[in-house]
Structure 1
């Protein structure tokens, strides 16, 4: 049977990509959104709403604009490289308007149940139950794309003695702004992006901030080598290729050296327990400075809470703690899928082919979008995931047998453990993953072909940043502006910060190499004496 009607759950960045990709392929999407607006995680609201993601007022993006845009919809030229959530939310609105997506979205509509139709084995259809204004509605769809995100359900690790703690404690999703913590002693538990952001922000008003970490983490700045955006320097095909061909010991050594180039992590108590793990680093421009100023103190894992104090694993204790914020991340849950084993088909772990498709389904008509995590940005990732999933729905992409899909999942799991250590999220290497999806649908740029037909572009594709536009250069979904966008990406990046005409720095002659050559005879002479 032909897939025509598609249900999309959620209107965040993934749901909008899904809706747009469906329209692009001539399908009929209906997107259900429980809140009254698009944007998902990026929609800032004062009050934490049940069942939706929540951000604090000062959240900025961790990926720069050239690396995180929808591949056929670059950010306006005047936008900064990293932007405040309100600016990103405006961009998301512009995207929805530009591709006329809003009329396909049903707001204030909660998906309460998704289950297989009785004749699923033959037709692969789903029954979707929704609720709006207390009224229930049932509809049948040919396919379902789940885009409900994974920053909704707080992961609340139980710490011994927390019930005796007299101060106030809550999960970071309830944190909005720092003012009410003025003059307080605050402990933040968890060294992820949120934990570090919140600790740094509180350090401006709190009497003291303690930041507790179980396993440490690499901390990177958004402003990387020579002041370029970190991801435009780090996420390149050349680097990925190098990482894959070098002996593991060499690539590990280079990785640690690279991560330690600004400051030695061990001197700041931040060094990860597993140094060579490629687990996502934290992006924070201010943390080392705040630690240096003594306003943030790094502590080990919490052993137990007492009435007003906290005991740490290394035996130290901290008295008079007023507030504890648990920045301990999130777990994912799909309460609306009647049979959750469809997604968690093994050991209660998310088991998905290519990180998208439940492998055990008789008909491949369900896709989970946006659950993988990598160094790359989420928007280009979900855009490509949607394009791949729709090709599968249309039967234009034949899938291997269930056992082959499970083998592929196991092999990826093994690689994930090797490179990222044990982590529950579906961590993966951005470029390798994107290329895998792109080549499956015929959208991966062929470097060899480009070397012959467009050598300048080939060099930019290999050595330049692996920006989203690369995945709209060829094949289905090709965008005519992609080539130009790649050639002008650095101009847009520099224009954002070159806001004052400044003289260029003199070239660094005599360079160190020249000086070295000049001084070599002198050194040899001294050694001989």
Structure 2
């Protein structure tokens, strides 16, 4: 079986590797001249090509965002500058000899069903060689679309924006603060990109404003005892506690957020709960707000020639730059519209956010069309692992009616759970979604059996961070190094910090004791709650 992989970013590299693991013949088409996708920094702004900022540091720790069978080097820091991520992707490509499968500077013009699709499930891909401008067509047995959903700018209709005389920049085109010195800047949008841009510019601009109508919960990268917030939060025990005591856990998490800085005092307090919209991860926002170099404003009502009128009737004049950190629209302009269609940023016809249910043959996988509350890299990899086994018939998808019922129930659940935004339609919870795909694929860790065979490993998996290695312990794609990777994950996390001998014996960490104490206290609270009902 010959598989076309479109894109050589994080998900495209995983797709090639999964094809190799399953014995599939793959060809990857990448429109740029190198791999890495958005993690490959370039000063050059190219329309439709997303790129990290020059200063970008991951807000997911290295142990959580790595591929499931390839831990990041132990010497890499806890959180990575984008240059480290690009190095890691190159190491991954080198380790598994992925480059030889990639054809660079190849632009996809269309992906259409072949004439015999109903019988074979084959696709015709029309592409252009950007080096020669030659156009050609190839036929493939299956296709993995790995372009993600960060290529098309999403720009809401702001009244009066066309009359504004200053500079208007989308966050996709922002690279570094050079050229913004001494200017008055308005950043619209308080997601991770908007907050990072606002914080960075507040160090050089004369004044930065950040506009948000709903506010946001803000958490730092590291919390108690200097531990990474994701490794302390994304645990199976926490999922169980949220199921048992959802309101109590939500209140505790919100209290934890306000312990860092009171969101009400800083005008960031949202009306929505902490679990109904992904919080932003940013270490500097409260400091910049406290110093006055950054100020929070409400939604924009209308633009004037030189400034903005906000919904609360306040006015800011003499603005030099407006940065639209308004996110991205989901579009696949090259893809056969009969396969999947996007309406108002709603990809509502993808089973498990991957497979178009209308196709007569399941030979198309759309990878990366999700927004995980947690690490995305292992999510994209799991989507690829499942897709390649579906292509081969090793995993059978349900019938059309069952897939549509699943899709409809998910969309209804999303409406009930999350605050409505232009991206809430593809929101997923990291552990729950990974378990869902892994169950279909047969690689979900069976902690019940592990408890008898390897209790130390089972307890680490349940009470410790749900790192991607857990999905390599059993089933298809099992990796012999998974157990060791799990048991040494904290060594790799904290090891790079040990750069100065302390001259005394370090005390053993108390985190396990504190965790079990917390679980015990919550259990007592639950029993008291039941008793009072």
State the 1:307 CA deviation: 1.3
Q: CA RMSD in A?
A: 1.8
State the 1:277 CA deviation: 4.1
Q: Is the 1:5–1:141 contact (alpha carbons within 8 Å) kept by the matching residues of 2?
A: yes
State the 1:111 CA deviation: 0.7
State the 1:157 CA deviation: 1.2
The higher radius of gyration belongs to 1
Determine helix, strand or coil for the equivalent of 2:466.
coil
Determine helix, strand or coil for the equivalent of 2:457.
helix
What's 2:69 paired with?
Answer: 72
What's 1:192 paired with?
Answer: 191
Instruction: Summarize deviations over 1:106-141 as a string: whole Å, max 9, x none.
Output: 000001000001111111110011100210111110
- 2: CA distance, partners of 1:421 / 1:156: 19
State the 1:343 CA deviation: 1.8
- 2: CA distance, partners of 1:260 / 1:366: 45
Q: Is the 2:307–2:318 contact (alpha carbons within 8 Å) kept by the matching residues of 1?
A: yes
Q: Is the 1:5–1:142 contact (alpha carbons within 8 Å) kept by the matching residues of 2?
A: yes
Instruction: Summarize deviations over 1:240-279 as a string: whole Å, max 9, x none.
Output: 1111222x43343233223323111111111223134432
Determine helix, strand or coil for the equivalent of 1:374.
strand
What's 1:523 paired with?
Answer: none
- 2: CA distance, partners of 1:431 / 1:506: 29
State the 1:505 CA deviation: 7.7
Determine helix, strand or coil for the equivalent of 1:495.
helix
Match of 2:59 among 59, 62, 65: 62
**Ranges of 4+ aligned residues in structure 1 off by more than 4 Å:** 345-348, 503-508
State the 1:440 CA deviation: 1.4
- 2: CA distance, partners of 1:378 / 1:140: 30
What's 2:410 paired with?
Answer: 412
What's 1:38 paired with?
Answer: 35
What's 2:152 paired with?
Answer: 153
What's 1:302 paired with?
Answer: 300
What's 1:460 paired with?
Answer: 460
Match of 2:371 among 331, 349, 373: 373
Structure 2 residue 300 is matched with structure 1 residue 278: no
What's 2:85 paired with?
Answer: 88
Q: Structure 1 unaligned segments of length 5 or more: list them.
A: 514-529
What's 2:399 paired with?
Answer: 401
- Compute the TM-score of the two structures, normalised by the length of structure 2: 0.92
Q: Is the 1:470–1:482 contact (alpha carbons within 8 Å) kept by the matching residues of 2?
A: yes
Q: Structure 2 unaligned segments of length 5 or more: list them.
A: 518-533
What's 2:527 paired with?
Answer: none
Structure 2 residue 474 is matched with structure 1 residue 474: yes
What's 2:447 paired with?
Answer: 447
What's 1:331 paired with?
Answer: 329
Instruction: Summarize deviations over 1:187-242 as a string: whole Å, max 9, x none.
Output: 11110111111111111111111011121111111012221001000000110111
- Compute the TM-score of the two structures, normalised by the length of structure 1: 0.92
Q: Is the 1:225–1:233 contact (alpha carbons within 8 Å) kept by the matching residues of 2?
A: no
- 2: CA distance, partners of 1:252 / 1:66: 25
State the 1:492 CA deviation: 1.1
What's 1:221 paired with?
Answer: 220
